[in-house]
Amino acid sequence: MTFFTFAQHLKKIEAVSARLEITRLLSQLFSELKIKEIPPAIYLSLGRLVPQYQSLEFQLSTKMILRALTKHLAHHPDIYGANGSMSNLFNETDESLYEERVNKLYKQTGDIGETTEQLLSLGDKEGLKPDLLEVYEQLVQIAKEGGTGSQERKIAGLIDLFEKLDSNSLRFIVRIIVGKLRLGFSTMTVLDALSWTKHNDKSESGKLEELFQKKADLGLLAQVYLDPQHNLKAVQKLYQISEGIPVMPALCQRLNSAEEIIAKMPKVIVEPKYDGLRIQIHLGKDKNSKKWVRSFTRNLEETSQMFPELNQALTKLDCVSCILDGEVVGVDKKTGKIVAFQETSTRRRKHGIAAKAEELPVRFYLFDVLEKNGQSLIDTPLSERKTILKQIVKADTDVFTTAPFIVTSDPEELHDYHTKQLALGLEGAVIKKHDSVYKSGRKGWRWVKIKEEEGTSGKLSDTLDCIVMGYYGGRGKRAAFGVGAFLVGLLGDDGKIYTLAKIGTGLTDEQFKELKKRLNKHEVKVKPKVYKVHKNLIPDGWIEPSFVVEIAADELTRSPVHSAGKALRFPRLVKFRDDKTWQEATTLKEMETIKIG
């Protein structure tokens, strides 16, 4: 497929918003791709170069793209000059003549894709049709440029693409580069579209989701699945859990009492609920039999570099290869005690890692094993997995330790254990069905949490993880922060985001500053398609669905202005949930399960 054709498909997808329509259009695209084009096409259509668990960023800002555009226009005065005639060739190669035009158009549109397309459309001509894979390779090359002079080399690479491609293709390319493709679909729609490509319906979406959860690489899965020689059975055989590619983590449901829990899942394993960062540790061997260790967050982000302590796994864990699930927490060097979440999260960083590791060491509390020596264990009962885990982590050390647990069928014992954990300063308990298989996500009654409300005597039994949708300018002291309040919401069943609260009090100066940093990064000019917002709540600035904040509130009340139909009473910010994507925020449905006492 040519990149031109690929971008024509993206254009069609961009123009629609109904999920079914997007599914159909995606499946049309998939059916026209050659097998080897499938992974790149999937990553690109999701605005990336590589699967989610890998990171390959362009490190090229909007400003740099505007600069590249200016240079390119100045290079072709015959096309882009004031009157586009050859007579002006000599006095129109001065870049400053184009800079204003480029910047002005960007200010007007607020969208780098639109700006690029509008500016470059004059240069469109027949024959600008390089191959999808060729362009993909060139983009990878641009992203990989590093070191001295790399910005200039990146710009040169981009200008080369300006020469080779049509303006519609470039509209999407520059958006991918700045990380703002936003075609309005996600993993589930891609899975639906895959099933659709083969069967004209979503009949295999569920099975595909299960496969994706075992090994979260959409491009790879699509490639195996769309191979005409593979039926579903063959795909299920071929597409197996493997070290180096994360498994989608299991998450908790909520239940409100020990009695309810024991009634639903009679025999349980109960562990402390640590308030740290979820971590999945992969131990494997490369082609030369050299061992490696990697780690991932619950959002599939690789964090191996952040935790030099992980290297101890190479000698301390007893296995050839394995995938372990756990929580990482910071440990106070003096007292040996676990530190609060906020402190642990200072270990999530790109710079100054060694010094920070020295100042705040971490401990990995391991609670599950999903694979050992090439054998998948996700269908093995939890009780057996616990034994295998213990064999891998032979002796607990300061760095690697198995999470303690009790086995019980007694609500009273469960209740006492939970209360004891709270008294110890932990977040409570996680309760897991004794002989359950490992299942990603929140479906079924396998993992459950009882969580005390956070610092409030109100009526909500848990905090809510909300999506930030917009902000309002501040007055007085807040004017200095550039934000006085912000609007948050939750995801509905229909994929739309509904407002639930406007929050303007209870933030420390530090939190306001933190908030502003994130707002700056994600502000967009127009209201995102998926937002449902009442006219009385229109904010001063829109924020694309991006970051998540944990909000505590006293209760839920009915609301005529909030599109969720409910509003939070006395909402306040607990923390930024950078470990969650907006798709993982609390849903409107889940909100209903957060009991109002």
**Enzyme catalytic residues:** 273
State which of positions 160-189 bind ligand ATP (CB under 6 A).
Answer: none
Residue 504 Cβ vs ligand ATP, minimum distance, rounded to whole Å: 23
Q: Is 348 in the site for ligand ATP (CB under 6 A)?
A: no
Per-residue x/- mask for ligand ATP, residues 284 to 303, rule CB under 6 A? --------------x-----
Give the angle subtended at the CA of 375 by the CAs of 369 and 381, to the nearest 5°.
50
* CB 473 within 8 Å of CB 483: yes
Q: Is 512 in the site for ligand ATP (CB under 6 A)?
A: no
| Rounded CA separation 396/382 (Å) | 20
Instruction: State the amino acid at position 311 in one-letter form.
Output: N
**β-bridge mates for residue 131, sequence order:** 2
| Rounded CA separation 469/556 (Å) | 19
What distance, in Å, lies between the first and last C-alpha atoms of the chain? 58
SS3 assignment, position 108: helix
Give Cα 116 distance to the centre of its chain: 27
Instruction: State the amino acid at position 415 in one-letter form.
Output: H
Residue 327 Cβ vs ligand ATP, minimum distance, rounded to whole Å: 4
Q: What is the 3-state secondary structure (H, E, C) of 427-490?
A: CCEEEEECCCCCCCECCCCCEEEECCCCCCCCCECCCEEEEEEEEECCCHHHHHCCCCEEEEEE
Number of residues located near ligand ATP, criterion CB under 6 A: 14
Q: What is the 3-state secondary structure (H, E, C) of 450-463?
A: ECCCCCCCCCECCC
- Of 15-23, 98-106, 272-280, 411-419, which segment contacts ligand ATP by CB under 6 A? 272-280
Report the residue from 11, 278, 291, 348 that binds ligand ATP according to the rule CB under 6 A: 278
Report the residue from 198, 372, 433, 451 that binds ligand ATP according to the rule CB under 6 A: 451
Q: Is 319 in the site for ligand ATP (CB under 6 A)?
A: no
State which of positions 322-341 bind ligand ATP (CB under 6 A).
Answer: 327
Residue 587 Cβ vs ligand ATP, minimum distance, rounded to whole Å: 11
C-beta closer to ligand ATP: residue 442 or 522: 442
C-beta closer to ligand ATP: residue 58 or 274: 274
- Of 53-61, 271-279, 342-350, 488-496, which segment contacts ligand ATP by CB under 6 A? 271-279
C-beta closer to ligand ATP: residue 217 or 271: 271
Tokens (6 digits) for 155: 């710009």
Q: Is 422 in the site for ligand ATP (CB under 6 A)?
A: no
Q: Is 564 in the site for ligand ATP (CB under 6 A)?
A: no
Q: Is 251 in the site for ligand ATP (CB under 6 A)?
A: yes
Report the residue from 204, 243, 271, 544 that binds ligand ATP according to the rule CB under 6 A: 271
Residue 131 Cβ vs ligand ATP, minimum distance, rounded to whole Å: 42
| Rounded CA separation 560/15 (Å) | 32
SS3 assignment, position 342: helix
Beta-carbon contacts of residue 13 (< 8 Å; ≥ 6 apart):
22, 25, 26, 29, 45, 183, 184, 185
- Of 15-23, 56-64, 267-275, 288-296, which segment contacts ligand ATP by CB under 6 A? 267-275
Residue 267 Cβ vs ligand ATP, minimum distance, rounded to whole Å: 17
* CB 44 within 8 Å of CB 136: yes
- Of 39-47, 52-60, 273-281, 369-377, which segment contacts ligand ATP by CB under 6 A? 273-281
C-beta closer to ligand ATP: residue 309 or 452: 452
| Rounded CA separation 293/308 (Å) | 10
Residues making contact with ligand ATP (CB under 6 A): 251-252, 271, 273-274, 278, 298, 327, 367, 403, 430, 449, 451, 465
